[in-house]
A and B are shown apart, each in its own frame.
Chain A
Amino acid sequence: MTPSSSIDTAGAAPHDEHHDHHPSYLVDGTTIKSWILTVDHKRIGLMFLFFVLLFFLVGGIFALLIRLELLTPGPTIMDAMTYNRTFTLHGLVMIFLFMIPAIPAVFGNFMLPLMLGAKDVAFPRLNLASLYIYLTGAVFMLWGMLNGGLDTGWTFYTPYSTHTTTTVAPVMFGAFIIGFSSIATGINFIVTCHTMRAPGITWFKMPLFVWAIYATSCIQVLATPVIGLLTVLVAVENLFSFGMFDPARGGDPVLFQHLFWFYSHPAVYIMVLPAFGVMSEIVSTYSRKNIFGYRAVAYSSLGIAFVGFFAWGHHMFVSGQSTFDAGVFGVLTMLVGVFTAIKVFNWVGTVYKGAVDFKTPFAYFCGFLFFTVFGGMTGIALGTVSLDVAWHDTYFVVAHFHFIMVGATIMAFLAALHYWFPKMFGRTYHEGWGLVSAALIILGFNATFIPQFLLGNNGMPRRYYDYPERFQALNVASTAGATLLAFGFIIIAMYLTYSLVYGKVAGKNPWRSKGYEWLSESPPPTHNFVGPQPTFPEEPHFYVDPKKAEVPDAV
């Protein structure tokens, strides 16, 4: 690809005010207005980071309340209705306000243009709008939760959700609005990948994180409208009794399940594909090796995105589905496992004979690998109809999706936070504390959810407030694990906040990574690159000799 002259001149167009010195995006304008009205993708990413963390805290507090309640059989700290509301709020906040935007809206926003050598995303103002749409939806949701709450679970299953007198409508409108934010972000990223790649970045020179975000965006754009419609229909039905999903009025609640999982199964890949992308970056950086099977990793993201659309029926094995349908959905479900396995083997192949630099992000990579493999295998097991009939709606399912969805995503989120911390803030965190807290978190996570696999296998149903005496030991173990997890997060919050101000100044590329984003300053200037638009002759994960990876120069 030869750079055309028009591209060069546009790239060299100077920024009017800051012709000679290029302040970092953090200090280029310090008024409140310069933040809340910014169209800089980096600032928008940072604001997303703030809110995503805030909601993670809220969701985390609800999680601890749930675990505390389940510490002993019978009422422990709340009554049954409060319990139902608590787990609903936990699920809603975690899924819609944390997991879905966590990696794409924060790190996707921040890194994607840098990784493509672009000055910004394709539609900067749409990008800012998506932040405010997200916040509007969050306000609706939280308002509904505080004014009565709702007790349907995050899946809003009908016909219960169309009848309950709790505040279903505002919360579902909130989810609808957040869906628009997700769509806007997705469209923005897709168009950015198509139109804003710097000269030299062909499709197969895009970093794997970009590929993952691209595949995620495709899912967002294709799946979210359907759940958007569905949330509106249920909200309206809850308000006016239209009967669309109410069997008493001739409606079909199973149709709701079909449409719901048509979105929500792919949605689980909205949460986990970006995590896969982060890990592809990290594994090659810290192994000092080119990623093994770049194309396979890139294509398997698209593969997961594709087959993810045909697996929704595995949530409905016990809904009266025909045996034939169940068989088909079972097989389609397992195809997802194939694509995931491709990635896993490639990551392992990358580490093999690499010069591993065991830093905090790499510790998270190890945890991630375990959670993904274990969570994925239990997924295959659940995709087997006969097994699922036994495990359905037990804690086994809860443990499965926490392992794969929460485990993998949290690992990736924390890994990304540490890996890109120097890029975003220009300072490094304390490695010792990083490793300690990573160990705590991985340990705490296992301690929380492995007992839940056992509980489910022994027959403890999910979403129950009470349980027989014989389940108590495992529940106590799980609550203890959750406490450990909470400590891990508190430690991280403390040293990262400290590092923001007192951390060692990082320099351009502290990890000696070959990722394109490290070619710019840390933290980057407002328009990402100083001088003419960079060109990228090398591949993004190109380490010549794993033992002496050099710092790449900007060309």
Chain B
Amino acid sequence: MQSSAHTADGAANLPRLAGHFASLEVQNHAARLGMWLFLATEILLFAGLFVCYGCYRFLYPEAWAAGSRSLDLTMGTVNTVVLITSSLTAALAVHYAKAGENKKVGVMFVLTLLMAVGFLVIKYFEYAHKFHIGTLPGRYYHYEGIQVTGIPLYFTVYFCSTALHAFHVIIGMAVLSVAMVRAFRKKDFGPNNYTMVELGSMYWHLVDLVWIFLFPMLYLV
């Protein structure tokens, strides 16, 4: 909102009120409501994949069992822990932003981002392994080890959903980086102005939440 013509400048930590809103309270309410709606659409986006997962799991139970056994449970578990922890640091960032401790906000986001990178690195190793042995989607599947009907479809679902999730991780990292830079450089978060931190963290929780669905679906059951 910083580019708006009407600004209620003043003491530091005071957010800017865009001219078309009645009050700051309303402005923050609008931002939060918009974010919730957006997150709902994101969940629905993944829901389409979950429907595909459910249908094909019903059609090819053996392939699903064999497929999920072939995944590396350790890497998956580590990744889950990493992502949940990163959600915690993101939540702490909001906590510090409310208290106006900008430096801590920045540090929390640095930690979150480091864990995000860690997540992607582990994912990279998992992908590389699959590329190597040939457990790939659709017509690219050429692994000799598992030969049940429907197994290429399992990997189609696996790659589509994890890739879409990884894409969200990357977007989330971009958002959090901006918030981090603002916390360090401008130090403008405070009790009245933490909407950006809050919304960024909300997005990050969504990324985490989706993974919490994907992990048991793909690795465990």
CB distance from B130 to the nearest CB of A (A): 14
- Is there an interface contact between B52 and A122, defined as CB atoms closer than 8 Å? no
Decide yes or no whether B30 CB sits under 8 A from chain A: yes
Per-residue contact bits, chain A 219-263, to B (CB 8 Å; 1 contact, 0 not): 001101110111001001100111110000111100100110000
Decide yes or no whether B143 CB sits under 8 A from chain A: no
CB distance from B159 to the nearest CB of A (A): 8
Alpha-carbon distance between A194 and B20 when the two chains are bound, in angstroms:
14
Chain B residue at smallest Cβ distance from A533:
B22
Chain A residue at smallest Cβ distance from B159:
A242
A195-B29, A195-B30, A250-B152 known; A226 vs B160 contact (CB < 8 Å): no
- Is there an interface contact between A187 and B38, defined as CB atoms closer than 8 Å? yes
Decide yes or no whether B59 CB sits under 8 A from chain A: yes
A224-B41, A249-B139 known; A15 vs B30 contact (CB < 8 Å): no
Decide yes or no whether A555 CB sits under 8 A from chain B: no
- Is there an interface contact between B138 and A240, defined as CB atoms closer than 8 Å? yes
Report A-chain residues with C-beta under 8 Å of the C-beta of B192.
none
Q: Specify the main secondary structure of chain A where it touches its partner.
A: helix
Of the stretches A3-11, A317-325, A490-498, the one at the interface is A3-11
Decide yes or no whether A53 CB sits under 8 A from chain B: no
- Is there an interface contact between B30 and A122, defined as CB atoms closer than 8 Å? yes
Q: Specify the main secondary structure of chain B where it touches its partner.
A: helix
- B:3-53 near A, CB below 8 Å: 3, 5-6, 17-23, 25-26, 29-30, 33-34, 37-38, 40-42, 44-49, 51-52
Decide yes or no whether A459 CB sits under 8 A from chain B: no
Decide yes or no whether A503 CB sits under 8 A from chain B: no
CB distance from B172 to the nearest CB of A (A): 17
Report B-chain residues with C-beta under 8 Å of the C-beta of A119.
19-20
- Is there an interface contact between B20 and A124, defined as CB atoms closer than 8 Å? yes
CB distance from B218 to the nearest CB of A (A): 16
Most buried by B among A242, A255, A527: A242
- Is there an interface contact between A240 and B137, defined as CB atoms closer than 8 Å? yes
Decide yes or no whether A64 CB sits under 8 A from chain B: no
Decide yes or no whether B153 CB sits under 8 A from chain A: yes
- Is there an interface contact between B37 and A190, defined as CB atoms closer than 8 Å? yes
Report A-chain residues with C-beta under 8 Å of the C-beta of B37.
186-187, 190-191, 221
On chain A, the number of residues with a Cβ less than 8 Å from chain B's Cβ atoms is 51
CB distance from B216 to the nearest CB of A (A): 20
Alpha-carbon distance between A143 and B22 when the two chains are bound, in angstroms:
43
Per-residue contact bits, chain A 180-207, to B (CB 8 Å; 1 contact, 0 not): 0001001110110011100000000000
A187-B38, A230-B48 known; A6 vs B33 contact (CB < 8 Å): no
Q: Chain B: interface residue count, which band?
A: 35 or more
Alpha-carbon distance between A121 and B19 when the two chains are bound, in angstroms:
11
Decide yes or no whether A123 CB sits under 8 A from chain B: yes
- Is there an interface contact between A118 and B20, defined as CB atoms closer than 8 Å? yes
Chain B residue at smallest Cβ distance from A11:
B22
Alpha-carbon distance between A487 and B139 when the two chains are bound, in angstroms:
52
Q: Which residue of the partner chain, among A16, A126, A233, contacts B160 with CB atoms under 8 Å?
A: A233
CB distance from B72 to the nearest CB of A (A): 22
Alpha-carbon distance between A222 and B153 when the two chains are bound, in angstroms:
27
Alpha-carbon distance between A240 and B156 when the two chains are bound, in angstroms:
11
- Is there an interface contact between A10 and B41, defined as CB atoms closer than 8 Å? no
Decide yes or no whether B77 CB sits under 8 A from chain A: no
Alpha-carbon distance between A27 and B220 when the two chains are bound, in angstroms:
63
- A:100-130 near B, CB below 8 Å: 118-126
CB distance from B208 to the nearest CB of A (A): 19
Decide yes or no whether A387 CB sits under 8 A from chain B: no
Report A-chain residues with C-beta under 8 Å of the C-beta of B153.
243-244, 249-251
A10-B21, A124-B20, A244-B156 known; A16 vs B45 contact (CB < 8 Å): no
- Is there an interface contact between B44 and A250, defined as CB atoms closer than 8 Å? no
Decide yes or no whether B149 CB sits under 8 A from chain A: yes
Decide yes or no whether A473 CB sits under 8 A from chain B: no
Q: Which residue of the partner chain, among B22, B56, B157, contacts A10 with CB atoms under 8 Å?
A: B22
Q: Which residue of the partner chain, among A10, A226, A230, A243, contacts B137 with CB atoms under 8 Å?
A: A243
B contact set with A: CB distance below 8 Å? 3, 5-6, 17-23, 25-26, 29-30, 33-34, 37-38, 40-42, 44-49, 51-52, 55-56, 59-60, 137-140, 149-150, 152-153, 156-157, 159-160
Q: Please, could you name 21 A-B residue pairs with CB atoms under 8 Å apart, sorted by A?
A: A10-B17, A13-B6, A119-B19, A120-B20, A122-B30, A122-B34, A183-B41, A187-B37, A190-B33, A190-B37, A221-B40, A221-B41, A233-B160, A240-B137, A249-B139, A250-B56, A250-B152, A251-B156, A258-B51, A259-B52, A527-B19
Given contacts A196-B21, A222-B41, 9 further A-B contacts (CB under 8 A): A13-B19, A15-B19, A120-B20, A122-B34, A196-B30, A225-B44, A229-B49, A241-B138, A241-B139
Please name the 3 residue pairs, one residue from A and one from B, whose CB atoms are nearest each other, closest first: A229-B48, A242-B138, A119-B20
